């Protein structure tokens, strides 16, 4: 236990030194920049609500990724699964009449989860049937999803008069998820996310399915000898992952943007991949780390205005954290319990 605390402290120290060096290179004030990020994320209630609004999709995607990582799959396609979820939700809400908002909202959620699951299944089939490694299949599908969104926004779903990058027409007020006055986060989204975390934990650690995923992820050939079919579990994992990502996409539409925009996924899928790597592929650090990542994202938004720094700083710190964690794990290679969690590529 003491060793883990030391390791984490070492990791944080590396990240801090790296960030300071970077800011020094960019001749930016170190203290001012960091306090700016803090003020911009946890400085006020309104800012914190904004952080939570990012925390919701990030945590949902991470929960989905925990399933796929458990089966030793690199579900890079999660970004596209968010997008397809958002597309399906928008599609379900287009004919909506303000009289029955609840019916249409339920339809949107179900449609988005099915859409995300289907998109995940495609990546899974590309792997199991098409022999394309899931990284490349997923990337291809992400690009297709992005193209689809652009085509919809500039084509069939364009706003009357002008088609622009600002997205489709706003949804009617009745179809917006309720929020606290003046805050950007919906309580319903928070509730769903907590539910997702709990269910993910239960399924992964207390069910036969979770055990099977782990067995297949660790040793597909061995699992086959025990009568487990790796292909089927791969597909099950990407379907679950995809449906959670689709749900995240749906919440972005009905809870945050209230329309379909080109950047609806905001890179949260890729960020969630980093996050789950940082968590050591375990459930309990995920919500905390998601808070950290979301705080960085939101806190960096005002950097270009206040300090003329690019907001990509948050991404550098996030990626750097993962590399620092890997580094700490690497120098403790003698600890196979940690190292065995790292999925590697065995075949293409």
State both tokens at 143.
Answer: 């690009």
Q: Which is nearer to other proteins, 110 or 307 (CB)?
A: 307
Q: Which is nearer to other proteins, 110 or 316 (CB)?
A: 316
Query: What is the distance between the alpha carbons of residues 79 and 245, in angstroms, rounded to a whole number?
Result: 8
For 143-150, which contacts have Cβ atoms below 8 Å and span 24 or more sequence positions? 143/80, 144/80, 145/79, 145/80, 145/81, 145/83, 145/84, 145/87, 145/119, 146/80, 146/83, 146/262, 148/83, 148/84, 148/87, 149/83, 149/86, 149/87, 149/260, 149/262, 149/264, 150/262
Residues contributing to the site for other proteins (CB under 8 A):
22, 25-26, 74, 126, 130-133, 135-137, 139-141, 143-144, 146-147, 150-151, 154-155, 270, 273-274, 277, 304, 308-310, 312-316, 318-320, 322-323, 326-327, 329-331, 333, 342-346, 348
Closest separation in Å from C-beta 109 to other proteins = 28
Closest separation in Å from C-beta 124 to other proteins = 14
Q: Which is nearer to other proteins, 27 or 182 (CB)?
A: 27
Query: What is the distance between the alpha carbons of residues 165 and 158, in angstroms, rounded to a whole number?
Result: 10
Buried b (16+ CB within 10 A) or exposed e, 167-181: bbeebeeebbbebee
Q: Which is nearer to other proteins, 239 or 278 (CB)?
A: 278
Q: Which is nearer to other proteins, 147 or 222 (CB)?
A: 147
Q: Which is nearer to other proteins, 33 or 252 (CB)?
A: 33
Closest separation in Å from C-beta 101 to other proteins = 31
**Distance from first CA to last CA of the chain, Å, rounded?**
38
Q: Which is nearer to other proteins, 34 or 139 (CB)?
A: 139
Query: What is the distance between the alpha carbons of residues 266 and 253, in angstroms, rounded to a whole number?
Result: 12
Closest separation in Å from C-beta 311 to other proteins = 8
Query: Which residues 6+ apart lie within 8 Å of 26 measured at CB?
Result: 309
CA atoms within a 13 Å half-sphere pointing along the CA-CB vector of 113: 11
Q: Which is nearer to other proteins, 236 or 276 (CB)?
A: 276
Closest separation in Å from C-beta 253 to other proteins = 20
Closest separation in Å from C-beta 321 to other proteins = 9
The answer to whether 81 touches 116, Cβ cutoff 8 Å, is yes
Closest separation in Å from C-beta 79 to other proteins = 12
Buried b (16+ CB within 10 A) or exposed e, 3-23: eeeebeebbeebbeebbeebb
Q: How far is CA 57 from the centre of its chain?
A: 6
Closest separation in Å from C-beta 303 to other proteins = 9
Q: Which is nearer to other proteins, 77 or 85 (CB)?
A: 77
Closest separation in Å from C-beta 292 to other proteins = 16
């Amino acid at each position: 236990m003491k060793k883990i605390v030391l390791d984490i402290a070492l990791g944080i120290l590396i990240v801090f030194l790296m960030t300071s060096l970077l800011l020094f290179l960019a001749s930016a004030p170190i203290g001012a920049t960091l306090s700016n990020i803090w003020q911009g994320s946890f400085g006020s209630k309104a800012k914190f609500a904004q952080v939570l609004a990012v925390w919701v999709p990030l945590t949902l995607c991470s929960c989905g990724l925990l399933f796929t990582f458990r089966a030793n799959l690199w579900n890079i396609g999660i970004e596209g699964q968010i997008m397809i979820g958002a597309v399906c939700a928008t599609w379900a809400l287009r004919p909506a009449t303000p009289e029955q908002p609840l019916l249409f909202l339920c339809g949107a959620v179900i449609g988005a989860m099915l859409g995300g699951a289907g998109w995940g299944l495609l990546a899974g089939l590309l792997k199991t049937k098409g022999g394309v490694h899931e990284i490349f299949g997923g990337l291809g599908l992400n690009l297709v999803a992005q193209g689809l969104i652009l085509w919809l926004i500039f084509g069939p779903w364009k706003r009357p008069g002008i088609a622009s990058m600002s997205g489709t027409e706003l949804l009617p007020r009745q179809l917006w998820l309720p929020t606290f006055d003046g805050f950007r986060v919906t309580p319903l989204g928070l509730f769903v996310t907590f539910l997702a975390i709990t269910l993910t934990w239960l399924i992964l650690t207390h069910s036969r399915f979770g055990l099977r995923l782990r067995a297949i992820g660790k040793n597909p050939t061995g699992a086959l000898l025990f009568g487990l079919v790796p292909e089927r579990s791969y597909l099950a994992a990407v379907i679950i992952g995809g449906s959670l990502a689709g749900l995240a996409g749906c919440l972005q539409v009905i809870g945050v943007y209230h329309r379909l925009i080109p950047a609806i996924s905001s890179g949260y899928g890729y960020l969630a991949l980093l996050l789950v790597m940082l968590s050591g592929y375990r459930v309990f650090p995920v919500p905390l780390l998601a808070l950290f990542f979301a705080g960085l994202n939101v806190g960096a938004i005002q950097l270009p205005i206040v300090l003329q720094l690019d907001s990509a700083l948050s991404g550098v710190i996030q990626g750097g954290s993962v590399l620092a964690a890997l580094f700490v794990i690497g120098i403790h290679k003698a600890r196979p319990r940690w190292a065995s969690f790292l999925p590697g590529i065995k075949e293409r």
